[in-house]
Amino acid sequence: MHPAERLLMGPGPSPVPQRVLRALGSPTLGHLDPQYLTIMDQVCEMLRQVFRTSNPLTFPVSGTGMAGMECIAVNLVEPGDEVIVAVNGVFGTRMKDVMERCGAVVHALECPWGETFSHEQIAAALAAHPKAKVLGIVQAETSTGAHQPIEGISTLTRDHGALLVVDAVTSLGGHELRVDDWGIDAIYSGTQKCLSCPPGLSPVSFGPRALARLDARKTKVQSWYLDVSMLRKYYTGGGGGGRVYHHTAPINMTYALHEALTIVLEEGLDARVARHTAMHQRLRAGLERLGLAYIPKRSLHSLNCVRVPEGADDAGVRKRLLEEYGIEIGAGLGPMAGKAWRIGLMGHGATVRNVDLVLAALTTILRG
Amino acid sequence: MHPAERLLMGPGPSPVPQRVLRALGSPTLGHLDPQYLTIMDQVCEMLRQVFRTSNPLTFPVSGTGMAGMECIAVNLVEPGDEVIVAVNGVFGTRMKDVMERCGAVVHALECPWGETFSHEQIAAALAAHPKAKVLGIVQAETSTGAHQPIEGISTLTRDHGALLVVDAVTSLGGHELRVDDWGIDAIYSGTQKCLSCPPGLSPVSFGPRALARLDARKTKVQSWYLDVSMLRKYYTGGGGGGRVYHHTAPINMTYALHEALTIVLEEGLDARVARHTAMHQRLRAGLERLGLAYIPKRSLHSLNCVRVPEGADDAGVRKRLLEEYGIEIGAGLGPMAGKAWRIGLMGHGATVRNVDLVLAALTTILRG
């Protein structure tokens, strides 16, 4: 088993720094070892900084990004609850599915894939569904590359009494994201995108309004593995009774996340967001010179979704990139299959070297 | 962040070989990369060998052991189903809880903690609950160290039309376990016990009768993350439509499991089981010379649960082992807290060197 050293420029996983891979291979501690608990506490504290939140209940769920989505849904939704989910791609569609599996009555607020939602559309949806208890929305729609502005939405949801739930899988650590300033009540992300850590953990944060909802539940959370009323005792010692063992945490993945977050904070969040912006602009200029058109109206910086040009062989181009250059880019997902390429500029991968290389490779393959 | 090199002799995680830690730190591939899919296919094939099964649907769930328990429950139980769970410790209790959260009506078959169930007790429970669709039982009860024989139970469950679900978290790769020969319909385990891989994945296997139950479901699986009707498409390409992306798998953890399983099969299952037996006997003889009494009547080889002797300071002894020797052993769990020590001899950790060292250390601390 000798995995090749790919340059990961797809929708994630993103390139992992050697420092993170070395941390991953550190000696395994027990999940109740005082040393490990210190490492985990530091991870939670660094996650608070990266989420820009003071929420005590901020921790990595022991699963990949979709486990984080499910963690928030099972804890904040009870059977029969009305919720609104904004759907403009695969991940909004999935959030709707996940919430329905929790027994929610989901009202989908839809707009064409590649577009995003205005405050007016969101206000109208809330007005149409006065009983809605949650509004779920995707900041970084990985299937279309659309960037949904989040700032200001909480004014609408708070007036309405609904919780604001945000999917930040492809934005955390790469895009501006301010959980407290923006009034986000619950949020989930993944490690394998702009944090440049391998996949396997899903950072989440629950604010005070979300915790109050959790404490007021009438029914048991349907998932034992993701039940925050127990997880909070392990991760924060909160909820009464001190620190209590729940499940065996993924120890070595926690080391990797510790190192990845250390790197993020060494760079500084503002500098990191600025780097993602600059690299996106550099890539975008190059792709447009090549005649490639962006699909979303408002593109993410971390994920660049362009239309496969007329006459190009979608799978053939990706295969040549992989085999000749060792570069992975993403195919279109869902209804976009065969129609889109998704080029990631995430975390450790968002560099001049990588941007210029992928542009050179695409130029050779498309024009050669 | 510099985790100490502990000797892990608790209830898991167990000592991880350097080969596995190095594999863990290999370059991250994309989850749809042909190289990664080959590695994953090999992991599934090696898991079949270690489970001794030909079940096509054998794969590692992307979460720790309890995610595997939950995966089997959410897929095989529908709201209102009657099930029987054999409860003789923390993990049977938890299986009951998890199945209830899936809407099952659970009939608990109980015996005192530390004891195990006879065929007569199981037959009587099945006779008392003619509608029971599942019998759940724990082969290796990690909270008490009790070893439940599984062979022969499927004769009872098949006559009854119930599925046999087995928890093998602390037995897979250390104890005799024959999924096909013993007629087990669904089984879950963890990587951090006798496989000597870090925690983070949960190997599961579903047999043909379990799959038929899944295919006949009237309701949607309540967990999207653990829905086997979708997971099987990613892991086996089965269920129609070829291989379909589900979630981003924990790539590097899959490398580690690949290496850990390779080591298991290099040693050979029979030799490995024999080694666990011999090391257990060596440890048991030493502990009994020290006057320490085993709690379970039929002890696991991989986990040795003894009573904290009269007059000994439970936490103080464990603290000295950790601080002076760098050895972790486990405390009692649940109602056994303060009353038991749990000494693991799992996988890479089940060696003469470790047995004699822990006996020497305990002798010094208890008598010194």
Give the model confidence (pLDDT) of A39-57 as tens digits.
999 999 999 999 999 999 9
B140-175 pLDDT per residue, tens = 999 999 999 999 999 999 999 999 999 999 999 999
**Do the Cβ atoms of A2 and B26 come within 8 Å?**
yes
Q: Residue B66: its chain A contacts at CB < 8 A?
A: 224-225, 247-248
3-state secondary structure of B169: coil
**Do the Cβ atoms of A249 and B29 come within 8 Å?**
no
Q: What's the confidence (pLDDT) of residue A239?
A: 65
pLDDT (mean) for B21-33: 96
In chain A, which ranges are continuous DSSP H helix?
18-24, 34-51, 65-76, 90-101, 119-128, 153-160, 208-215, 228-236, 251-267, 269-289, 314-325, 352-367
Nearest CA in chain B to A33: B328
Pick from B201, B224, B230, B343 the residue to mutate for testing the A interface (most A CBs within 10 Å).
Answer: B224
> What DSSP string describes B174-191?
TS---TTTTT-SEEE--S
Q: What's the confidence (pLDDT) of residue A1?
A: 86
* Choices 2.60.120.480, 3.30.70.20, 1.10.3720.10, 3.40.640.10: CATH for A18-265: 3.40.640.10
Q: Is the pLDDT of residue B368 over 80?
A: no
Domain segments of chain A: what residues?
Answer: 7-12+269-367, 18-265
B205 beta partners: B58, B187
Q: Residue B322: its chain A contacts at CB < 8 A?
A: 33
> Residues B16, A26: contact at Cβ < 8 Å?
no
Q: Is the pLDDT of residue B325 over 80?
A: yes
A106 beta partners: A83
Q: Residue A259: its chain B contacts at CB < 8 A?
A: 1
B293 to chain A, minimum CA–CA distance in Å? 25
Of B36, B247, B256, the CB nearest to A66: B247
d(CA A346, CA A82): 35
3-state helix, strand, coil in chain B (%, to 5): 40, 15, 40
Of A200, A11, A184, A8, the residue nearest A176 (C-alpha): A184
Of A221, A225, A251, the CB nearest to B199: A251
Q: Is the pLDDT of residue A254 over 70?
A: yes
Q: What's the confidence (pLDDT) of residue B240?
A: 67
> Residues A284, A299: contact at Cβ < 8 Å?
yes
Cβ-based burial of B41 (10 A; exposed 0-12, middle 13-18, buried ≥19): middle
Q: What's the confidence (pLDDT) of residue B261?
A: 98
**Do the Cβ atoms of B31 and A13 come within 8 Å?**
yes
- Quick one: pLDDT band at residue B334, thresholds 50, 70, 90? confident
- Quick one: pLDDT band at residue A135, thresholds 50, 70, 90? very high
Q: Identify the architecture of domain B7-12+269-367 in CATH.
A: Alpha-Beta Complex (3.90)
- Quick one: pLDDT band at residue A237, thresholds 50, 70, 90? confident
B296 beta partners: none
Of B42, B251, B328, the CB nearest to A199: B251
A206 beta partners: A57, A186
> Residues B327, B321: contact at Cβ < 8 Å?
yes
Per-residue 3-state assignment (H helix, E strand, C coil) for A326-359: CEECEECCHHHCCCEEEEECCHHHCCHHHHHHHH
Kind and range of the H or E element at B164? Answer: strand B163-167
Q: What's the confidence (pLDDT) of residue B262?
A: 98
**Do the Cβ atoms of A5 and B27 come within 8 Å?**
yes
A181 to chain B, minimum CA–CA distance in Å? 30
pLDDT (mean) for B182-205: 98
Beta carbon pairs, A and B, within 8 Å: 215
**What torsion do the CA atoms of B334, B337, B342, B347 make, to the nearest 10 degrees?**
40
Q: Residue A333: its chain B contacts at CB < 8 A?
A: 245
Of A31, A63, A220, the CB nearest to B225: A63
**Do the Cβ atoms of A222 and B222 come within 8 Å?**
yes
A198 to chain B, minimum CA–CA distance in Å? 7
Q: What is the mean pLDDT of chain B?
A: 96
> Residues B130, B123: contact at Cβ < 8 Å?
no
Of B106, B173, B184, B192, the residue nearest B149 (C-alpha): B184
Q: Is the pLDDT of residue A240 over 80?
A: no
- Quick one: pLDDT band at residue A236, thresholds 50, 70, 90? confident
Q: What's the confidence (pLDDT) of residue A245?
A: 82
Cβ-based burial of B159 (10 A; exposed 0-12, middle 13-18, buried ≥19): exposed
Q: Lowest-confidence range among A150-159, A245-254, A300-309?
A: A245-254
Nearest CA in chain B to A193: B248
Cβ neighbours of residue B361 closer than 8 Å, sequence gap 6 or more:
B321, B324, B325, B327
Q: Is the pLDDT of residue A5 over 90?
A: yes
pLDDT (mean) for B109-127: 98
B205-262 pLDDT per residue, tens = 999 999 999 999 999 999 999 999 999 998 987 766 678 888 988 999 999 999 999 9
Q: Residue A190: its chain B contacts at CB < 8 A?
A: 248
Tell me the CA distances in angstroms from B264 to A152, B24, B268, one per residue in order: 55, 16, 6
Q: What is the mean pLDDT of chain A?
A: 96
**Do the Cβ atoms of B248 and A199 come within 8 Å?**
yes
B276 to chain A, minimum CA–CA distance in Å? 21
Total residues found in chain B within this entry: 368
